[in-house]
Amino acid sequence: MDAKTLCLGSLMVGDATGYEIRKMFEDGAFSCFHQIGYGSIYPALSRLQADGLATVTEHDQDGRPGKKVYAITEAGRRAFAEALQGPPGADSFRSDTLFILAFGDLLPLERRSALLDAYSAIHATLLRELEEEPIDEEQCTPGHLFVRNYGLTIYKAIVKYIADNRHLLEQPSQATDDQASTPTPRTHAKGR
């Protein structure tokens, strides 16, 4: 899903500046399933405007760079509806933390604990932010509700999983507890 469509989606919810759009993907409603930075947003908004899919209103503010509030046009709504038509691309999930944790036995115990703490904390924060985010009765569609609750549910499941299973990784047993620079070589399984 390209940045243009993502921005159109934001504008479907309401008029916004580039700055506000990024916030929607950082904190807001969309944060759990897509993220984009300024580097994608501003060029996308320019193209949207050039293509007649959005309009701009400049609100000059003393000092600060003039706020550019974008609004979706009728053509923009059509283009968005059309973009929603095609078969969706596959989900993609990447987690360095989980990858590192998979090799936890190469790490000292404190580091394992620190990683687990941080990973739990970040999801607890995300959960809290989603919970606290006000739901605008007026324009909260069933779809928005569905994905919001989805986020809540998954974040909760993650926090719970870590609490319930961190003991698996926090047994001091493992190979080396000191940060040995020579990790114990294990015998490999024969190539299939």
Partner DNA sequence: GCGTCCATGTAAATGGTTACATGATTAT
Partner DNA sequence: ATAATCATGTAACCATTTACATGGACGC
Binding track over 78-117 against DNA, x by CB under 7 A: --------------x-------------------------
The full length of the chain comes to 192
Scored b (16 or more CB within 10 A) or e, 64-80 reads eeeebebebbeebeebb
Shortest Cβ distance from residue 29 to DNA (Å)? 16
- In the complex with its own copies, which residue's Cβ is closer, 19 or 51? 19
If binding is defined by CB under 7 A, does position 35 make contact with DNA? yes
For 58, the 3-state DSSP assignment is: strand
CB-wise, 50 or 189, nearer to its own copies?
189
- We find the least distance from the C-beta atom of residue 120 to its own copies, in angstroms, to be 12
CA dist 55 to 1, 3, 70, 87, 176, Å?
A: 22, 17, 6, 28, 61
Asked whether position 176 contacts DNA by CB under 7 A, the answer is no
Closest distance between DNA and the C-beta of residue 74, in Å?
Answer: 22
Q: Which two tokens stand for residue 96?
A: 């360095």
**133-162: contacts with DNA (CB under 7 A):** none
Please tell me the distance from the alpha carbon of residue 165 to that of residue 10, in angstroms, as a whole number. 37
Q: By CB under 7 A, what part of segment 36-65 binds DNA?
A: 36-40, 42-43, 45-46, 61-65
Convert 134-156 to b/e letters by CB count within 10 Å (16 or more is b).
eeeeeeeeeeeeeebeebeeebe
Q: Which does 172 bind (CB under 5 to 8 A by kind): DNA, its own copies, none?
A: none
Could you say whether residue 127 binds DNA (CB under 7 A)? no
As measured in angstroms, the least distance from the Cβ of 173 to DNA is 33
For residues 38 and 79, the answer to whether their CB atoms sit within 8 Å is no
Q: How far apart are CA 176 and CA 163, in angstroms?
A: 24
The answer to whether 28 contacts DNA (rule: CB under 7 A) is no
- Shortest spacing between CB 82 and its own copies, in angstroms: 9
Please give the single-letter amino acid code of residue 25.
Answer: F
Which residues here bind DNA, judged by CB under 7 A?
2-3, 17-20, 23, 35-40, 42-43, 45-46, 61-68, 92
